[in-house]
Amino acid sequence: MVSSVPRLVIAAPSSGSGKTTVATGLMAALSARGFAVSPHKVGPDYIDPGYHALATGRVGRNLDAYLCGPELVAPLFAHGADGCDIAVVEGVMGLYDGAAGEGELASTAQVAKLLRAPVVLVVDASSQSRSVAALVHGFVSWDPEVRVGGVILNKVASDRHEELLREALDSVGVPVMGVLRRTAQVATPSRHLGLVPVAERGAVAVEAVSAMAAQVAGGCDLSALVALARSAGALHGAGWDAGEALVSSPPPPLPVPSPGALPPDPLVGPGGPRPQTPDGLGGTPDGLPVVAVARGAAFTFSYAEHAELLTAAGAEVVTFDPLRDEELPEGTSGVVIGGGFPEVYASELSANEALRKRIAELAARGAPVAAECAGLLYLCRELDGMPMCGVLDASARMSERLTLGYRDAVAVGDSVLAPAGTRMRGHEFHRTVVEPGAGSSPAWGLRTPERRVEGFVEGGVHASYLHTHWASAPGVARRFVERCRTS
């Protein structure tokens, strides 16, 4: 199979240069002109893809060569871009920055090469003129396999400033495809972990994306950018498919927990007791186990492939909002609580006592509960002194220290996600502390950057700070769904 979807990678010399403004604005501007745009983000970040989705009307997808392996970058891209007219890939950090100590691994440059995609370099020109030529020349010549096909100059102060920049770049041989002037209108608010997610900004986020689109449409040569995208090389090989991934990655057998191991504590659903399947387990009338996935403003971090894998494994995926819903979805057999900002909404989450109780009851039954980062905090006894679900005998609080980086992990013991000894790669990104940091049965043993154990495995609960991408280990989803059927 050959994928010939036109594509561009939007990169920069460093963070803060304007990649998100340009990438999101370009996605929205092309969408407004009738293109079906496939949005992608290099690296593990969850927030930028939310803006991409708003700009395009399609799910934003991540391309992370560390979490998933270089071999999955092109297939995951082809999966997301299937049926689209053009794809825009926003880079991460500086063009050549990747996983610490791992060379080019997980860098924007590596992903561009894997996708055979031309790169557009966004340069913050606010404090330079002729020096821009040396900067661009260095990025163009550093790796001959990376094709920098154009430059967009950002934060240009005046017509005279633009003239000086263009004159300097004439000698480099890379065309200027856009010039964006300084404006506060497209600024997006940030806080302790970066941009404020789309789900929290509502109409304001829509206005911001519209402003980005207007700025890019007014300052960039869209025809030239589309022509550059069409020069991307063909990609050979099939796109990623959740069902096929599960077939090729079966999990080890999952032991059925003893019915007497935990006290029965039936979950009450909306309008009364939850319906029962013939064997007494929760699920849909046709026997599909229901996996409830947390969403809403407090839990915005999730990779689209996780829900696709759960569905392919035989589950019905239903979302719920811990800020608003007092009950879990009807027939819930398992719960997935991903990342987000529970620390920002701690008082509202705490006030929803009914749902906190339902989740605790479900966990007490031995049903599978997978929690990452924000989900870990929500399952704790308290967060910043406010009661949470109390599933874990641990306390969480905000911290001034940022914990950030890729992790190489191994499962310490058997859990609903993986058998002992399973190797996975993940990512940590938080400004909180959980005490204790690990239970008597830790979730993971981390090998990098230092050796330590982390997280909790208790009954059917797997809770950890580690964000993982299940496309790298599809058997995780099948194992979780199987536990939903047997718990």
Catalogue the active-site residues: 373
Joined tokens for residue 214? 């207007």
Question: With contact defined as beta carbons under 8 Å apart, do 114 and 74 qualify?
Answer: yes
Residue 124, CB-side half-sphere exposure with 13 Å CA sphere: 13
Distance CA 152, CA 120 (A): 7
- Helix 203-219 to helix 47-56 angle, to the nearest 10 degrees? 70
Question: With contact defined as beta carbons under 8 Å apart, do 94 and 106 qualify?
Answer: no
- Helix 19-32 to helix 222-229 angle, to the nearest 10 degrees? 90
One-letter amino acid at 269 equals: G
Distance CA 146, CA 157 (A): 30
Question: With contact defined as beta carbons under 8 Å apart, do 122 and 16 qualify?
Answer: no
**Number of CB atoms found within 10 A of residue 233's CB:** 12
Report CA dihedral (182, 186, 190, 194) to the nearest 10 degrees: -90
3-state SS track over 186-203: CCCCEECCEECCHHHHCH
**Which residues does 144 contact at the CB level (< 8 Å), separation at least 6?**
none
Question: With contact defined as beta carbons under 8 Å apart, do 296 and 302 qualify?
Answer: no
* 152, containing H or E segment: strand 148-156
DSSP of 378-434: HHSSEETTEE---SSS-EEEEEEEEEEEEEEEEESS--SS--TT-EEEEEEEEEEEE
Q: How far is CA 320 from CA 135, 305, 325, 336, in A?
A: 48, 18, 7, 10
Distance CA 6, CA 226 (A): 8
Distance CA 9, CA 289 (A): 39
Distance CA 437, CA 445 (A): 12
Distance CA 245, CA 198 (A): 31
